Amino acid sequence: MTETLDAIRSRRLQRTLQAVAAAHPFYRAKFREHGVDVGAIRSVEDIALLPTTGKNDYIADPDAFRLRADDLPEDFSVEERVLWDIAYTTGTTSGRPSPFYNTTHDCYAILDQARRCNEAEGFLPTDRVANLYPMAGFPTGAFLSVMRSTMIAGLPVVHGLTGSANSEFKVRNSLAEALEKSAGLKPTVLWGVPSFLRRFLDEGRRRNADFSAVRMILTSGEPVSAALRKEMQEQLTAMGAGPIKIQARYAFTEMQGGLVQCTEDSPVQNIVPDLYYLEVVDPETGKPRPDGEEGMLAITHLHRRGTVLLRYLVGDVVTLSREPCPHCGRPGERVVRTPRRVGNLVKCRGMLVNTDVIIDTLSALEGMGEFQLVFQREDHPGAMDQLFVRIEFDEASPLRGKWSDTALREEITKRVRAAVSLRPDVEFAARGAIYDQERSIKAKRVVDLRKVPE
């Protein structure tokens, strides 16, 4: 009889907890502190007996989250002990990336995860992929995901290799070089951060690049608004492509691949529920919340041997469903409401402003270029806070459509006032002034220049 998903999850969780109790520095201490008996945890329904783990716990000492091979029980294999590679997380408080260790066992699991994600997203044996993630100063999960997906599928891939050129070695390409190399493969799939894809396609159209074979765009790292989807389709149509399927991943390093869409309009889902367990928890108590209720996303590794995390708070507020996907029928948790980051509230003129609301309303504006919210205050007593919306605006671009600078300024002002009851100042910037693909992986949407923010 075929083993059920619940049985697989429970068996793998018990095995992982056996390894953690014996060989995991952080959780050995945490279990003693909280009096956790891992033997009492028999299934994923018992995961709530474990304490949650905060991002700051991990960032403070990433090595404490890596299993010690010498401390593992004897019946663990060589593949479960040997270090294969290291990925790194971004966005840490120290500015230094945190290592995420993969053993050979983990590498095999991640490659199989990539295979299953490929199937769900609709890759074809004939696809050719352009990896348009930048080459950062450390191996990021996004860049590695493209390598793993194309490797397991045996697909040809060209790497754009853009990024900050702060090395004595000539390993990174300019935007023009990345365009030339990518177009030479005649890719069918473009894969990257939305901010960069927008810049890449805009430059490609200006240079009359041939991207007529493109049939799919995959993204991660930022939301993709309906307006941006339309813009990317228009750009590719102008370069000879037909209808484009645009699918977005909700990815984070701790999941080594992320949640994917099986169709363009579907919620992202956990394609590998035998490897990861997702839940929504109350951020104060750590207690799980039922499906349909909003809370903090927590991930538990069911079958890892390098870096292992249990009930780890990713840092996003989400709503989950455990019903099978209505489009493809796959099991696994689905995020049914767009994730939002915690802490996106900024005090301005005595009010708490949710910057996500402003970003959402401006992202929905067709013809909107790259933009940035800037909070500023003059350095003298009694000075008022100012909110600036900076936008890259090229009136000659065909994507600007009906907008003159005056009309766009008025529309932005109207939308921001309606969203958060603040009147912004609107500033126009030259193309490339806000988002420089050679200096950052994605656009920085919010900047607070006040010396002492309220």
Residues 183 and 209: beta-carbon distance below 8 Å: yes
Residues 269 and 334: beta-carbon distance below 8 Å: yes
Residue 185 pLDDT: 96
Query: Cα separation of 445 and 251, whole Å?
Result: 19
Tokens of 317: 């507020």
Provide mean pLDDT across the span 327-341: 90
Average pLDDT taken over every residue of the chain:
89
Lowest mean pLDDT among 178-182, 260-264, 430-434: 430-434
Neighbouring CB atoms inside 10 A of 339's CB total: 17
pLDDT one-digit tens code per residue, 74-106:
999 999 999 999 998 865 555 578 999 999 999
pLDDT band with cut points at 50, 70 and 90 for residue 418: confident
State the DSSP code for 379.
S
pTM of the predicted protein model: 0.83
**What sections of 141-262 are H helices per DSSP?**
141-153, 175-185, 194-206, 226-238
Res 410 pLDDT > 80? yes
Could you give phi then psi for residue 334, rounded to 5 degrees? -120, 135
pLDDT band with cut points at 50, 70 and 90 for residue 453: very low
Residue 181 pLDDT: 96
Residue 454 pLDDT: 47
Q: How far are the Cα atoms of 55, 127, 178, 183, 316 from residue 215, in angstroms, in the given order?
A: 37, 9, 19, 14, 31
Query: Cα separation of 345 and 72, whole Å?
Result: 44
Provide mean pLDDT across the span 206-227: 93
State the DSSP code for 261.
-
Residue 368 pLDDT: 78
pLDDT one-digit tens code per residue, 348-385:
876 667 888 888 888 888 877 788 988 888 776 666 78
